[in-house]
Every structure is written in structure tokens, then in C-alpha cells.
Chains A and B, each alone.
Chain A
Amino acid sequence: MSGGARRLAWAGLLVVTAALLVFGSVRDSGPLTQQDRIDAITKRVACPTCDGESVYVSRAAAAQAIRAEVARQVGDGLSTDDEIVAYIADRFGGQVLLVPRGSGIDALVWVLPVVVAVALVAALASSFRRGAVATGARSRRAQLVVTVAVVVVVGVGGGVLVARQAGQRLPLQTATGGIDDSTASLLAQARLAGPTDVKSAIELYARVLETDPDNVEALTYRAWLIMLSARQFDESLRQQAYASTITALGRAIELEPGYPDAMCFLGIVVYRDGGDAKSAKEFLDRCLERNPPNEVRGMVESLAAEAAAEVGG
């Protein structure tokens, strides 16, 4: 490459870099009030049921629902604007993003124009030079290869930088994700582990209770699994487990009296492990009144009849 071409390439790189830095530094730092935030976020999201309207301007039911969700999340104050946009995009798909993402296939929107622009400039420069300088065939081939390489590197590199600066930056779409350790996720993992890996399930429920000591589901199922596990051990351990299970289930019922599972497990434990048919029948009847889910109902119905027969006898 001649000295002039090299200087031109460096100058081009400098211009692109400077433009990107200026663009990045002058980006809007964000709205100030909650309503500003709601407006700014809803302007970034397309109404999923209308053509070419943002959620901000649309009056469609789906847009109103999204606006209400944005307002709720902004009001909660727990999520950034990008996280809220990510939540909406995660649910409705990337097509609701009015500013395409800067990653994945969407990034092509940003990358391709830069690649094309750089290619055109390079082609123009090359044709000018061909007209000005007569060189040998081998030299022309080498020049072509270098030009193509520069176009690819500068074009793709510049395109990626533009995509990162201008595209939607959505934190929940990172490879690590943002919900892996959420309470809902831990509860779901515990639920999956429960039947086959009781120890892991108990540990997962315990992790939930570390951050949310009043989580009724974790209180209930941890106590239930501890009692089930203790049945294989000696009497003193079973007694300890029985006492702690009754306490935990009682706490769960106190926190959420309508939760059927806690009442059902209380009835089962009181009957099977405490031998108190009268109390058990009362708890099991209350459990059935609370419309337990089918898995729990299946455990309770026959036991309730058994306890009733024992009390009646």
C-alpha cells in the first residue's frame, strides 16, 4: 500500500472512531421524573397490535396494558429503563423494539450499512487510484486483497461499535441472565428436585427462606420434605422433625390462611406422625375446603376418609 493510501486509511479510522465517541458521549442521559421515564420507555416500544405506532401514542388495549406495566415497574423503582424494555421485548418479542437490539441478528441493521458504506468508500478510492497509477497485475491483486481485508475489518468493527452504541442494550438478554437466582426460579428448581432429590430440594427452599423468611411455599414444602425424610430415622430425630414441621406449617398458615397445601400437610403429619385422628380430620377437612391442587388432593382425600372413620369409631 502506498504512503498516501495508508494515510487515507488511518484518517478514515480516526474519523470513524471520533464520530462514535462523540455519538456515545452526547447520548441522552435519561429522563428525570417518573412520568418522563414512562414516556421515554413507551416511545421505545411498538404497539404489538398496530402498525407503526409506539406504545406512547397508541390507544390500543395491548398498548394501554404495556403502558400500565411500564408505569407499575417504574413506580416500583426496582428496574432500569433498559430492564423494563427488556421485560417487554422478552414477552412480546424483539419486533416490538422501535430501536433494534445491538446484538444477535438484529445487530445486522446497524452493522450492514456501515459495512456497505466502508466498502463503497474503499471501492471509490481504489478506482481513483487505478486511474491515477498504472501497476502490475500481481501488485493490483495484492492491493485488492488488502483493500478487501481493510473493508471487512473496518466495516464490521465499525458496524459492531455502532450497534453497541445505538442499539437497544437489554440487560436481561445477557448470557448470564437476570432471573436465575430469583425466588420464582429457586422455587421452580426445588419443585423439580423434590420427588427424587429431597436433600437438594430442602436446600433450595432454605435458600429462598434466607432472602424471604415468610415465603409460604418454601416454609410449607421444606417442612413437609423434612418430615418425610425424618421418617427413616430414629424416634428422637422424628420427634424433632415433627415439632419443627408443625411450627413451620403453623407459621405458613398464619401468614396465608387460605393456602391449601400447608393445611393439607398439617393434617397428614398430625395423623401419620402425631397419631391424632381428631385434629387431623379437622385440618384435612379445612384443606379440602380450600380447593387444593390435584397432586395434594390425591394424597388427602383417602386419608380424610380414614381419619373420619377412626374418629367415628
Chain B
Amino acid sequence: MRTSRVAVLATGVVFAALVAVFVVSDGDTDVGARSPLLGAPAPAVVTSTVDDAPFDLARRKGSWVVLNFFNSTCVPCIAEHPSLVDFVADEAGRADRAEFYTVVNDDSDEAINGFFAAKGGDWPKLRDTDGAVAVAFGVAKVPETWIIDPNGFVRLRIIGAVNDGVLEAQMARLRAGDQ
């Protein structure tokens, strides 16, 4: 009898603990993924483009910056590409247009140039030869897309392919001052 009461009590305690864990855990939002970098200054990114132009993320303060981690053989990257092209075209008409950059993940300059020549996308492509940029942002798999505000703070992380209109909606939300 006592054993059964103890068993019931123990089960209740375990169940309550589980509920507590679920309650205090942060859930992912519909689009944005979690990262300790959200709301923090963006990591340093000092590299060059595949056209050998220097790039320093700290020098882009004053502009919204979108970083898209990409590999030319990754299927979701290829799938999201038309959405990215549309997003950049939409932004081009704005005075506060977001600057869009591809961060090349484990891929060659030749493959990248070939992909963009075939599929379009006239924006800078940043080298990440030893993966330092990916590690700094905690990117394990591509595609991932990050948005950094004009003060240099990380504002959004999207894991996986972005669908049509998602980046546009997220940029509008961020520009309006929503968190």
C-alpha cells in the first residue's frame, strides 16, 4: 500500500518536473530560430569576396545587412534562391535597402561563380575558407539566413530555406521596430 502511494507520488513529481521544464523552455518562433547572438553585437567578419574585394562587417554599420550561408550543391539553398533574388530586387528600390551577402560555406570560388552566373544574383559573395564565419555564427548546416541591424546587432536567424515573401515580411517587421 505504502509502495503504491510512493510510486504515485514519484510519478507526480516527475510529471511536475517535466511540466516545469516545458514551461521555462523557450520555444522557437514561427520563422526565427534561437541563438545566443540574437540581440547581441554581430561577430566580427573580416574576409574577402570571391571577386577579391575586402569585406568587414563592422564597416557596414548604418545599413541593414543580410547574410545568407550557402553552398552551391545544397538542395534547399538552390530551392530558396529565387526568393532571395526577388528579395534583393525589392530592396534595391529602397533608400534604406538591406545589403545582401552570400557567405560561401565549404565551396569553391569556381562553383559559386558558375552557380550565380546560371541562376542570377548580383550581390557580393563572401569567402569563408576555414569556416570561421560559420563557427562565429554557429552555422552547422546551410542554408541559414541572418539579419543584422544598422547598429550592428543580430536581429534574426532563419534556419533552412526561406520561402517567398518571408524575408520581406521579416525585414518589414524589424524596420517597424518589432523584436
Distance in angstroms from A248 CB to nearest chain B CB is 17
B63 touches A184 (CB 8 A): no
- 1/0 per residue A47-84: CB within 8 Å of B? 01100000000000110111011001000000000000
Q: Is A285's beta carbon under 8 Å from chain B?
A: no
Q: Which residues of A contact B137 (CB under 8 A)?
A: 91
B152:A191 contact, CB within 8 angstroms: yes
Give which listed residue, B35, B95, B135, contacts A65 with CB less than 8 A: B135
A91 lies within 8 A of B63 (CB):
no
**In the assembly, what is the distance between CA of A91 and CA of B59, in Å?**
23
Interface 0/1 of B126-165, CB less than 8 Å to A: 0000111011111011000000001111000000000000
Contact A294 B131 (CB under 8 A): no
Q: Are B138 and A92 in contact (CB under 8 A)?
A: yes
Tell me how many residues of B have a C-beta within 8 Å of chain A. 34
Q: Main SS of chain A's interface residues? A: helix
Contact A293 B140 (CB under 8 A): no
Which chain A residues lie closer than 8 Å to B120 at the CB level?
none
Residue of A nearest to B105 (CB): A61
CA of A259 to CA of B56 in the docked complex: distance in angstroms?
10
A63 to chain B, nearest CB (A): 9
A91 and B36 contact, Cβ closer than 8 Å, known pairs A65-B134, A296-B62: yes
- Inter-subunit contact B140/A64 (CB<8 Å): no
From A88, A93, A184, A292, contact of B44 by CB (8 A): A184
- Flag whether B80 is at the interface (Cβ < 8 A): no
The answer, yes or no, to whether A90 is at the interface (CB within 8 Å) is yes
Q: Which residues of A contact B61 (CB under 8 A)?
A: 191, 217, 293
Is A259 touching B62 in the complex (CB atoms < 8 A)? no
When distances are taken between beta carbons in the complex, the residues of chain A under 8 Å from B62 are 261, 292-296
A91 to B132, CA, bound (A): 12
Q: Distance (Å) between the CB of A47 and the closest chain B CB?
A: 8
Contact B135 A185 (CB under 8 A): no
Partner of A90, one of B21, B36, B131: B36
Compute how far the CA of A91 lies from the CA of B133 in the bound complex, rounded to whole angstroms: 11
Per the 8 Å Cβ criterion, residues 30-67 of B in contact with A are: 35-37, 41, 44, 54, 58-64
Residues of A within 8 A of B21 (CB): 105
From A65, A260, A295, contact of B130 by CB (8 A): A65
Chain B window 58-84, contacts with chain A (Cβ cutoff 8 Å), 1 for yes, 0 for no: 111111100000000000000000000
Query: Across the interface, do A295 and B140 meet the contact criterion of CB distance under 8 Å?
Result: no
Does the CB pair A188–B152 fall under 8 Å?
A: yes
* Cα–Cα, bound, A187→B62 (Å): 13
| Residue pair B131, A188 in contact (C-beta under 8 Å) | no
- Chain B residues with CB under 8 Å of A292's CB are 62
Q: How far is the CA of A185 from the CA of B37 in the complex (A)?
A: 12
Which residue in chain B gives the minimum CB-CB distance to A93? B138
Asked if residues A62 and B41 are in contact (CB atoms below 8 Å), the reply is no
Q: How far is the CA of A69 from the CA of B136 in the complex (A)?
A: 9
**Which chain B positions have C-beta within 8 A of A259?**
59
| B134: contacting residue among A62, A72, A293, A294, CB under 8 A | A62
- Chain B CB within 8 A of A313 CB: no
Q: Are B130 and A68 in contact (CB under 8 A)?
A: yes
CB neighbours (8 Å) of A258 from chain B are 54
Q: CA–CA, A56 to B12, complex, Å?
A: 42
Kindly provide the distance from the CB of B96 to the nearest chain A CB, expressed in whole angstroms. Answer: 5
* Residues B140 and A69 in contact, CB atoms below 8 Å apart: no
- Which A residues are in CB contact (< 8 Å) with B136? 69, 91
Return chain B residues, CB-CB under 8 Å to A90. 36, 138
Interface string of A15-46 (1 = CB under 8 A from B): 00000000000000000000000000000000
Task: Answer whether residue A142 sits at the interface, using C-beta atoms and an 8 A cutoff.
Answer: no
| A68, A191, A261: most-surrounded residue (chain B CB, <10 A) | A191
Pick 19 A–B contacts, CB within 8 A, sort by A: A61-B105, A61-B106, A65-B130, A66-B135, A69-B136, A90-B36, A91-B36, A91-B136, A92-B140, A184-B41, A188-B41, A217-B61, A293-B59, A293-B61, A293-B62, A294-B95, A294-B99, A295-B150, A296-B62
**Further contacts, 19 of them, CB under 8 A, given A91-B35, A261-B62, A293-B99:** A48-B140, A48-B141, A62-B131, A65-B134, A68-B130, A68-B131, A68-B135, A69-B135, A91-B36, A92-B138, A184-B58, A187-B152, A191-B152, A258-B54, A260-B59, A293-B60, A293-B62, A293-B63, A294-B63
The 6 tightest CB contacts between A and B, nearest first, are A65-B131, A293-B62, A91-B138, A295-B62, A48-B140, A293-B63
